[in-house]
Amino acid sequence: MADPAECNIKVMCRFRPLNDSEVIRGDKYIAKFQGEDTVVIASKPYAFDHVFQSHTSQEQVYNDCAKKIVKDVLEGYNGTIFAYGQTSSGKTHTMEVRYLPCGHMIVSQVVPVNYSHHFPVCSAGKLHDPDGMGIIPRIVQDIFNYIYSMDENLEFHIKVSYFEIYLDKIRDLLDVSKTNLSVHEDKNRVPYVKGCTERFVCSPDEVMDTIDEGKSNRHVAVTNMNEHSSRSHSIFLINVKQENTQTEQKLSGKLYLVDLAGSEKVSKTGAEGAVLDEAKNINKSLSALGNVISALAENSAYVPYRDSKMTRILQDSLGGNCRTTIVICCSPSSYNESETKSTLLFGQRAKTIKNTVCVNVELTAEQWKKKYEKEKEKNKTLRNTIQWLENELSRWRSGETVPLEEQFDKEKANLEAFAADKDIMVINDTPTPTIGVIGNFTDAERRKCEEEMAKVYKQLDDKDEEINQQSQLVEKLKTQMLDQEELLASTRRDQDNMQAELNRLQAENDASKEEVKEVLQALEELAVNYDQKSQEVEDKAKEYEILSEELNQKSITLASIDGELQKLKEMTNHQKKRATEMMASLLKDLAEIGIAVGNNDVKPEGTGMIDEEFTVARLYISKMKSEVKTMVKRCKQLESTQIESNKKMEENEKELAACQLRISQHEAKIKSLTEYLQNVEQKKRQLEESVDSLNDELVELHAQRKVHEMEKEHLNKVQTANEVKQAVEQQIQSHRETHQKQISSLRDEIEAKEKLITDLQDQNQKIILEQERLRLEHDKLKNVDQEKSKKLHELTVMQDRREQARQDLKGLEETVAKELQTLHNLRKLFVQDLATRVKKSAETDSDDTGGSAAQKQKISFLENNLEQLTKVHKQLVRDNADLRCELPKLEKRLRATAERVKALESALKEAKENASRDRKRYQQEVDRIKEAVRSKNMIRKAHSAQIAKPIRPGQHPAASPTHPNAIRGGTAFTQNSQPVAVRGGGARQEKA
């Protein structure tokens, strides 16, 4: 067994290429490389074990980083490889694979989206891409290839586990029900994850299937910097145990393959909500890892391993018994310069950490015996040393001076101890009397003694062999006892898990029953609501019928009132005609009476009323005139406003045309500049080609120069050759400087053109924005103009109506004035005639007075009828207006009632559909739970005895992955030819 040895943590640095978004943004490539182990960032060098440039292939990264660890793990050492870096720096790309296996649905695509330039993505149909595979799949393949090439006497058992640290909780990726696992320590104080699923594997395909299964359960999210950002730290653990079937020596090695989530800057990733909480936990755990690295680098007395579960699990990898390799992944973009520097400083600190590694070996009984003897001898030597020192110390304490030759000397003490042991062995092994007796023996007696001694030695050998067999049997029994204890413990764990699962299912069943009760209660409430709504619908329908009947009655009443109104209008017209005829006859009679009576001034009684009505008519006419004048002024103002708006529209249209012209000019200018830039690029390529050709010529000149130098050496003209060499070098240097100047000038010119193009693009964008603003203002002005035109049209129509009304009012005024004047004159004539007739005779006067009374009575009767008809007409008009006002309200109420009925019907229909959907969902959930319980029971029954499949070197496995048995070297593969190691209960019968 090898003694413990110290070794440094290896740190490799890898730079990815610029991605598409960085190229579009115009970021600079800031990394400069010096050799294969140094990178320079901002004039500061950073040295590592190896630095990989952007064009480095996956295979080269694996060969330099991880290939040696395969041999170390199979020789019994522990190993760890993990990737560290900023988010979107290529950690998952480096550690894992870039393929999408057929038949698997992987949630997180391993390839970063922007790596397509240097890292072509494999098609979905290929299971492995030899160029694109990362460290994990390559190391898995190499482990099995190395096993197949080893000694056939070795037997390997490989088991894997896969878990992630998400929100500082350990989550099993192979069993998603295990969401918060704990970290414990074994008897050697090595941390491990308790309760994590472990699967035995016997081929690379099984390992890759396990990885695919775990990847499908891993947490990922989309951020501004990465479309497939890992939101957790994943750890893939490979545990390899080997046993030599001849010597029974056992070795074990663990390999941790860690893909850390990247450190994030929230202002760049745009994380929010749950993604922000994940980023906080990621940065917290990475900060804890940085604190551990710093403490180890500074040889601090206290190392904070327990600050994070990730550092707790990796405690043995950081400063413990493990060969550790860290791959720091960096972005070469100037946008991420500060994060890249921080990552490089982390790598430099980690490079100073030393681990103490030793082989993990399980000793056999013979080895334990030898070790015991060795330790016993060492203990004896130490006891002698202690005795010597105690004697010397007691002499010093008693005041005695110990001479130099009697003082403690390690070599002298060892020699004395060896001599004492030799004397004891001589005394014990050499009895003097026996030798004398043996010397007096005859040859026959000596042969007989020798035969007896040979028999005794043989019996001793047999006893030793029997003792060895018994000790081996005891070891096997102990192993079986440990297996049985482990089986018992696993059975108890399974029982506890079953009990917990049963409790969980009972709780889910109770919850489902509660949900069913709630659903039934909700259905009952919906049924009650449905009855209530149905009753309301019926009530509304009855109200609707009553309102319809009332509306029909009102319509019938309105029709009858309209008929009566028509009749009254006809009667009124008839009465007007009769009154006109009677008035005409009355005026005729009055004229005759005036002629008969004569001209006498008698003051009429009704003059005041007629003058008052005339005055009201004049006031109304003057008011109409003032309103008409106001409308005319308003129309003139609107016409002037319209003219100004038309002018502004014309100006805006002119400006818009000018802007469009400028835009077209700028576009043409940009097109010409683009063509010019293309020409410059073409010239640049031509110059680069010329530079290449000149370099070729330079190489040829170097070759010619060497030939020439050789010729000159033969001719002993060294000085002339040196002069020619210097001349050629000066000429080449001048050519090189000329080309460098040309290239630099062309680069400056390209930069100037690019800046000009950028400025023109900015100007073009501004012009486009100005054009858009002018277009919006033009549309707004158009809308305003249309509104004003519409208002002007309405005002024009209103003005025409007012003008027509004014003309009608004017004619009506003239007619009323004429009628009033005629009535006034007639009344004067009537009064004069009446006065002359009163004077003529009493009889005539009495007769005339009676006639006048009859006429007055008739006129008053007609006036009363007219007044009653007017009142009736006004009342009918008011009723009609009231009914017309009530009709829209009733129609609105009717429409609202109909809409309410429709809404209630749709709500009822939706409630029925939701209830049916909930019932189906509940039934599906119950079926799913039953199926899950049934499948778990089947899986538990199927995997109740997990088989650890031993792997034998010497032959690769058959193509079919269905053979679960051991693989033996040197023979054909048959299913039942070799025994299979059984773990977790039960043995397996195998055919010989």
Which segments are annotated as binding site for ATP? Answer: 85-92
Return d(Cα 961, Cα 252) in angstroms, integer. Answer: 25
Decide: 593 and 834 in contact? Cβ < 8 Å: yes
For residues 783, 786, 787, 789, the Cα torsion angle rounded to the nearest 10 degrees is 160
- Beta strand pairing status for 50-52 and 10-15? parallel
Facing residues of 242 across strands? 156, 251
The number of C-alpha atoms within 13 Å of 391 and in the hemisphere containing its C-beta is 10
Q: Identify the DSSP state of 557.
A: H
Residue 97: closest CA among 111, 80, 85: 111
Supply φ then ψ for residue 793, to 5 degrees.
-65, -40
Return d(Cα 131, Cα 764) in angstroms, integer. Answer: 46
Q: Which residues, 6+ apart, have CB-to-CB distance to 121 below 8 Å?
A: 98, 111, 132
Decide: 835 and 845 in contact? Cβ < 8 Å: no
Residue for token pair 């009653």: 868
- How far does CA 592 lie from the centroid of its chain? 112
Element (H, E) at 185: strand 182-185
Count of residues in the chain: 992
- Beta strand pairing status for 250-259 and 79-85? parallel
Structure tokens at 934: 């049934």
* Three-point CA angle 207, 210, 211, nearest 5°: 90
Return d(Cα 208, Cα 101) in angstroms, integer. Answer: 10
Facing residues of 263 across strands? 86
Q: Identify the DSSP state of 401.
A: P
Q: Which residues, 6+ apart, have CB-to-CB distance to 821 below 8 Å?
A: none
Residue for token pair 């009397």: 433
Q: Is 166 helix (H, G, I), strand (E, B) or coil?
A: strand
Return d(Cα 940, Cα 493) in angstroms, integer. Answer: 13
Structure tokens at 203: 């081929």
Taking residue 830's Cβ as centre, other Cβ atoms within 10 Å add up to 22
SS3 readout for 902-949: HHHHHHHHHHHHHHHHHHHHHHHHHHHHHHHHHHHHHHHHHCCCCECC
Return d(Cα 697, Cα 959) in angstroms, integer. Answer: 56
Structure tokens at 9: 């943590």
Write the DSSP string, 771-817. HHHHHHHHHHHHHHHHHHHHHHHHHHHHHHHHHHHHHHHHHHHHHHH
Return d(Cα 987, Cα 989) in angstroms, integer. Answer: 7
Return d(Cα 964, Cα 948) in angstroms, integer. Answer: 9
Return d(Cα 14, Cα 437) in angstroms, integer. Answer: 83
Q: Identify the DSSP state of 979.
A: -
Supply φ then ψ for residue 258, to 5 degrees.
-115, 130
The number of C-alpha atoms within 13 Å of 398 and in the hemisphere containing its C-beta is 9
Q: Is 419 helix (H, G, I), strand (E, B) or coil?
A: helix
Q: Is 485 helix (H, G, I), strand (E, B) or coil?
A: helix
Supply φ then ψ for residue 239, to 5 degrees.
-110, 115
